Structure 1
Amino acid sequence: MSQHPFLLPDDPHAPFPPAHLALRQPDGLLAVGGDLSVPRLLNAYRGGIFPWFSEDQPLLWWSPDPRMVFHTQDVRLSSRFRRGLRRSDWEVRADTAFAQVVAACAQAPRPGQQGTWITRDMQAAYGELHRLGHAHSVEVFDGGELVGGIYGVAIGRMFFGESMFSGRSGGSKVALAGLARRLLEWGWPLIDAQVENDHLPTLGAVSMPRDAFLAQVESLASAADTPHDWQARFGRLPARDLSPPGAP
Structure 2
Amino acid sequence: MVRLDKNEISFPDPEIYDGHEGIIAFGGDLSLERIWFAYQLGIFPWYNPDEEILWWCPDPRFVLFPDELKISKSMKKILHHNIFTFTENQNFREVIANCQQITRKDQNGTWLSDELMHSFIKLHEYGLARSVEVWQNNELVGGFYGLQIGNVFCGESMFAKVSNASKAGFIHFVQTYRDTLDLIDCQSHTPHLESLGARSIPKKDFLKILYKNNERR
TM-score, scaled to structure 1: 0.83
Question: How big is the shift at 1:101?
Answer: 0.6
- Residue 55 of structure 1: how far off its partner (Å): 1.4
Secondary structure class of the residue paired with 1:136: strand
Alignment of 1:62-77 (within 5 A): 62-77=56-71
Question: Are 2:2 and 1:9 aligned?
Answer: no
The answer to whether the 8 Å contact 1:158/1:221 transfers is no
Worse-matched range after superposition: 84-93 or 137-146: 84-93
The question of whether the paired residues in 2 share the 8 Å contact of 1:156 and 1:222 is answered with: no
Relative to structure 1, the CA distance from residue 38 to residue 139 in structure 2 (aligned partners, 3 Å threshold; closer, same or farther) is same
Distance in 1 between residues matched to 2:73 and 2:60, nearest whole Å: 29
Letter matched to residue 39 of structure 1? E
Alignment partners' CA distance in 2, 1:145 and 1:59: 34
Q: Where does residue 100 of structure 2 map in the other structure?
A: 106
Cα offset, 1:142, TM superposition: 1.6
* Map of 1:60 onto structure 2: 54
1-structure distance, mates of 2:169, 2:83 = 14
| Unmatched segments (≥5 aa) in structure 1 | 224-248
> Which residue identity lines up with residue 198 of structure 1 in the other structure?
P
1:195 aligns with 2:188: yes
Instruction: Determine helix, strand or coil for the equivalent of 1:129.
Output: helix
Do the aligned residues in 2 keep the contact of 1:22 with 1:62 (CA within 8 Å)? no
Matches of 1:191 and 1:121, distance apart in 2 = 25
**Deviation for aligned residue 1:200:** 1.9
Deviation at 1:77, TM superposition (A): 2.1
Can you list the C-alpha shifts for 1:165-217, whole angstroms capped at 9, x where unaligned? 111100110111122122213x1121100011222211110101000001110
Q: Scaled by the length of structure 2, what TM-score is found?
A: 0.94
Query: Any idea what the Cα deviations from partners look like across 1:118-146, whole Å, max 9, x if unmatched?
Result: 11111101001001100000111123201
Shift of 1:163: 0.5
Residue type matched to 1:32 in 2? F
Q: Which residue of 148, 155, 163 maps to 1:169?
A: 163
Contact 2:75–2:168 (CA<8 Å) still a contact in 1?
A: no
SS in 2 for 1:199: helix
> 1:215 aligned to 199, 208, 214, which one?
208
* CA-CA distance at 1:108 after TM superposition: 1.8
Paired position in structure 2 for 1:18: 13
Distance 1:84 1:39 in 2: 40
SS in 1 for 2:146: strand
Contact 2:84 2:165 in 1 (8 A): no
Q: Write the distance in 1 (CA, Å) between the matches of 2:187 and 2:161.
A: 22
Q: Distance in 1 between matches of 2:37 and 2:120?
A: 14
Identical-pair percentage? 36
Alignment size in residue pairs: 215
How much has 1:18 moved relative to structure 2?
Answer: 1.0
Q: Which amino acid aligns with 2:13?
A: P
Q: How many Å separate the matches in 1 of 2:200 and 2:114?
A: 30
RMSD: 1.5
Deviations 1:194-243 (A, max 9, x none): 011222211110101000001110002349xxxxxxxxxxxxxxxxxxxx
SS in 1 for 2:112: coil
Matched, 1:45 2:32: no
